């Protein structure tokens, strides 16, 4: 398969004529669209700040005619380099197509353009008593188109699933420049192959999403949560599994391992800190783990659920419990959870964010295996994440840049461990550039061949986001 790169200078001139002021080639535009949250820097040859679907079509037709790469991009909050122009090419920036076309209260759906910020969509839905559940950490800065392209998810997955569960239908431009409408505007639809979910999560390699029809839900209204400290992660996970097998479906179940807890422990209220210190005195081998469980629904219902969950946690040996029933309490507890990433990031020179996922029942095993990896590579691993869906953010760190190769080796080892436990190398971040070399560890040759066949069927000239997702040596 060919591997197109940047357009020639003649073609750039042609593009400038075609798109006028919407084609950006100034240094700031190229630099800002050459970045995402992966830390990689790969500036494109030009940026098209698309205003409508017709421009997307024209760009893709030209790319096929002249064989240059087109890299679709939302807000660039990805962590895997999936929207970067590895070989130059033209970045197709969709952030200006940001209309909320309609919140349809009669049909409980939303129709939006891809550049809408996910947080804006959530607020617009809430104003009508409705709810768009997927909650990637980046929801206030990432776009719904990017969320769909990467099948973004967050803590709410345990109750509500991920982005793919809310995309009913799409308008998209195929790499050939043909426009397609997939799926339905209805909650049920079983006519033909599921092209909607073929595009969702394809990381911008199979089509450019130009409009989305999304399923909304009634807004649950209230939220209440509790934080609980357990002697170790095994005990914490037993509590979480007991919660689920006793009929409770929380809207988030998060955990921090002992290392993370030390890093952000100062944010906890005094009595919890005191409990932690007491626990340490008892000489807990693995160290304590913090669990955060949140419920949503009517006020009465959430308070009652948190009450019952508290009693389950106590029976399962929680050392300390901190209910957070009002907004201020919730904010305090979530601040602990949210501060972990920043503090890890700020505390070390080398930092690789893995986001493996394992079956829920294997989370404790996965985390228990980390000290061996740390020792073998002389690095430090912080583990936290989504206990309700098995998605663990492993933050592999070292204090000096010289240790990077060791951190990378440890990251691959963690991926292998997750796979051995029946897991996957990525629960949220995707493959992009960052993980494509590892893909054959997870995806068997038959599946890889089939996926390459699908890519070739939709994108015969390989002009759309070339090189992403597939192992490079076998383009």
Which of residues 264 and 421 has its CB atom nearest to its own copies in the complex?
421
Q: Which of 174, 15, 79, 87 is nearest to 428 (CA)?
A: 79
Q: Does 181 bind its own copies (CB under 8 A)?
A: yes
The reply on whether position 137 binds its own copies by CB under 8 A is: no
Q: Which residues in the 310-329 window bind its own copies by CB under 8 A? A: none
54 interacts with its own copies by CB under 8 A: no
211 within 8 A of 111, measured Cβ to Cβ: yes
* Among the residue ranges 58-66, 88-96, 99-107, 251-259, the one whose residues contact its own copies (CB under 8 A): 99-107
Binding of its own copies at residue 150 (CB under 8 A)? Answer: yes
For residues 294 and 320, which CB has a smaller minimum distance to its own copies in the complex?
A: 294
List Cα–Cα distances, 241 to 85, 200, 398, in angstroms: 43, 30, 33
Task: Decide if residue 197 touches its own copies (CB under 8 A).
Answer: yes
Span 253-292, contacts to its own copies by CB under 8 A: none
Is the CA virtual torsion 444, 449, 451, 452 positive or negative?
A: positive
d(CA 310, CA 291): 11
DSSP 189-257: --SS--HHHHHTTSTTSS-EEEEEEEE-EE---EEEEEEEEESSHHHHHHHHHHHHHTT---SEEEEE-
Contacts of 18 (CB under 8 A, 6+ apart): 58, 62
Q: Looking at beta carbons only, is 31 or 447 nearer to its own copies?
A: 447
Pairing of the two strands 90-93 and 70-73: parallel
Helix (H, G, I), strand (E, B) or coil at 389: coil
Residue 151 in the binding site for its own copies (CB under 8 A): yes
Position among 219, 273, 404, 416 found at the interface with its own copies (CB under 8 A): 219
Stretch 344-363 residues interacting with its own copies (CB under 8 A): 357-362
C-beta of 6 vs 454, nearer to its own copies: 454
193 binds its own copies (CB under 8 A): yes
- Asked whether position 300 contacts its own copies by CB under 8 A, the answer is yes
Q: Is 473 in the site for its own copies (CB under 8 A)?
A: no
Q: Which of 98, 107, 141, 341 binds its own copies (CB under 8 A)?
A: 107
| Residue 185 binds to its own copies (criterion: CB under 8 A) | yes
Q: Identify which of residues 320 and 428 has a Cβ nearer to its own copies in the complex.
A: 428
Q: For its own copies, which is the closer residue by CB, 127 or 349?
A: 127
Which residue's entry shows tokens 């807990």?
284
Which of 458, 464, 465, 466 is in the footprint of its own copies by CB under 8 A? Answer: 458
Minimum distance between the CB of residue 264 and its own copies, rounded to whole angstroms? Answer: 24
In the region spanning residues 384 to 423, those forming contacts with its own copies, defined by CB under 8 A, are 386, 388-391, 422-423
**Rounded to the nearest 5 degrees, what angle is found at the Cα of 94, between the Cα atoms of 89 and 95?**
125
3-class secondary-structure state, position 83: coil
Instruction: For residue 430, state whether it binds its own copies (rule: CB under 8 A).
Output: yes
Where b means 16+ CB within 10 Å and e means fewer, 160-196 reads: bebbbbbbbbbbbbbbbbeeeebbeeeeeeeeeeebb
User: Total residues contacting its own copies (rule CB under 8 A)?
Assistant: 97
Residue number, 112 or 350, with CB nearest to its own copies? 112
Q: Looking at 39-47, 86-94, 189-197, 326-334, which segment touches its own copies (CB under 8 A)?
A: 189-197
């Amino acid at each position: 398969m060919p591997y197109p790169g940047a357009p020639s200078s003649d073609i750039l001139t042609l593009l400038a004529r075609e798109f006028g002021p919407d084609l950006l080639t100034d240094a700031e535009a190229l630099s800002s669209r050459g970045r995402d949250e992966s830390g990689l820097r790969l500036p494109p040859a030009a940026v098209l700040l698309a205003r409508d679907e017709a421009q997307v079509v024209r760009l893709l037709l030209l790319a096929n005619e002249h064989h240059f790469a087109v890299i679709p991009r939302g807000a660039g909050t990805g962590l895997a380099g999936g929207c970067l122009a590895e070989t130059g090419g033209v970045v197709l920036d969709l952030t200006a197509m940001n209309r909320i076309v309609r919140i349809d209260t009669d049909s409980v759906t939303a129709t939006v353009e891809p550049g809408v910020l996910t947080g804006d969509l959530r607020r617009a839905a809430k104003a009508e008593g409705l709810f768009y559940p997927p909650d990637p950490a980046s929801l206030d800065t990432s776009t719904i188109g990017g969320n769909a392209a990467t099948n973004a998810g967050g803590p709410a997955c345990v109750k509500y699933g991920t982005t793919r569960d809310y995309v009913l239908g799409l308008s998209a431009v195929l790499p050939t420049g043909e426009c397609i409408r997939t799926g339905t505007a209805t909650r049920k639809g079983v006519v033909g192959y599921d092209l909607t979910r073929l595009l969702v999560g394809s990381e911008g390699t199979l089509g450019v999403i130009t409009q989305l029809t999304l399923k909304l839900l009634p807004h649950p209204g209230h939220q209440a949560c509790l934080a609980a400290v357990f002697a170790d992660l095994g005990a914490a996970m037993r509590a979480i599994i007991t919660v689920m097998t006793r009929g409770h479906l929380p809207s988030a179940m998060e955990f921090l391992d002992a290392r993370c807890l030390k890093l952000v422990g100062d944010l906890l209220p005094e009595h919890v800190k005191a409990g932690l210190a007491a626990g340490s005195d008892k000489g807990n081998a693995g160290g304590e783990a913090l669990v955060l469980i949140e419920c949503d629904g009517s006020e009465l219902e959430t308070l009652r659920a948190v009450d019952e969950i508290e009693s389950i946690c106590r029976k399962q040996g929680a050392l300390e419990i901190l209910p957070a029933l009002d907004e201020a309490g919730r904010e305090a507890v979530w601040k602990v959870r949210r501060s972990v990433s920043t503090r890890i990031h700020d505390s070390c020179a080398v930092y690789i964010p893995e986001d493996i996922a394992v079956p829920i029942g294997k989370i404790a095993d996965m985390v228990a295996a980390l000290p061996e990896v740390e020792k073998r590579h002389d690095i430090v691993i912080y583990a936290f994440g989504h206990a309700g869906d098995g998605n663990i953010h492993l933050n592999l760190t070292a204090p000096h840049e010289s240790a990077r190769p060791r951190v990378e080796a440890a990251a691959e080892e963690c991926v292998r461990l997750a796979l051995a436990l029946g897991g996957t190398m990525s629960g949220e971040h995707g493959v992009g550039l960052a993980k494509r070399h590892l893909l054959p560890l997870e995806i068997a040759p038959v599946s890889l061949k089939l996926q390459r066949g699908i890519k070739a069927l939709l994108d015969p000239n390989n002009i759309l986001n070339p090189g992403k997702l597939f192992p490079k040596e076998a383009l």
